[in-house]
A and B are shown apart, each in its own frame.
Chain A
Amino acid sequence: DIRMTQSPSTLSASVGDRVTITCRASESISDWLAWYQQKPGKAPKLLIYRTSSLESGVPSRFSGSGFGTEFTLIIKSLQPDDFATYYCQQYVTYSPITFGPGTKVEIK
């Protein structure tokens, strides 16, 4: 299986901050990476697919980049609604798709 790691595991930030989350794959996944946002007690919500394509309805303050084994999710100016846990997921292979362990963005 392709192993996904994320850093940091927890991030403390303030409203208005620029936030960067890193996701790494154990082998190259080209640009086949998605990002999800999850709030407590809720299902993950798709934010970004194919590394940098924003899902419909997702604010433009979210952006993604990367290729191969290293990827980043950037929140340009953190808003109160953005405090959540963020997961990356590789889909270069469906057997199986795998998720990162998550990065919790909490209020500083």
Chain B
Amino acid sequence: QLQLQESGPGLVKPSETLSLTCSVSGDSINSRIYYWGWIRQSPGKGLEYIGAIYYSGTTYFNPSLKSRVTISLDTSKNQFSLSLTSLTAADTAVYYCARRSGSGWWYFDSWGQGFLVTVSS
């Protein structure tokens, strides 16, 4: 049974960098089938795709966030991480990690429970 669990700081100051980790159990992030992604949800912008990473390190980002986003893998811990720089209040959201479908198409078949991040001084 695949499980994804987000973790990180719930409160971050403006202009700082957010770092979130997704711990995966029940599957290996070294899988050649899946991409592992981040999606966020805020009242103002709804669901917004952030980016995703493949076992090889290949990444695909939302162009609107690309300049501020890094996604990386830690295969030794079966985790992947999100880094988002230059935070503003607009980055306040629930952040989800998710697994892209093994079909090769860009929809997400498993999601973490979500993690609320508030950007405030």
Contacts and interface: CB of A to CB of B under 8 A. Distances in A.
Interface residues of B, number: 21
Given A44-B47, A49-B101, A87-B47, A96 B109 contact: no
Contacts of B111: 43-45
B35 to A, nearest CB: 9
Contact of B49 (A43, A55, A97): A97
A38 B118 CA distance: 21
Interface residues of A, number: 23
Contacts of B63: 95-96
Contact of A46 (B49, B107, B113): B107
Contacts of B109: 46, 49, 55
A40 to B, nearest CB: 11
A89 interface: yes
Contact of B107 (A1, A42, A91, A102): A91
Interface string B37-56: 00000000011110000000
Nearest to B108: A46
A71 interface: no
Interface of A: 1, 32, 34, 42-46, 49-50, 55, 87, 89, 91, 94-102
Given A91-B107, A94-B106, 9 more contacts: A43-B96, A43-B112, A44-B108, A46-B107, A49-B103, A87-B47, A89-B47, A95-B62, A96-B64
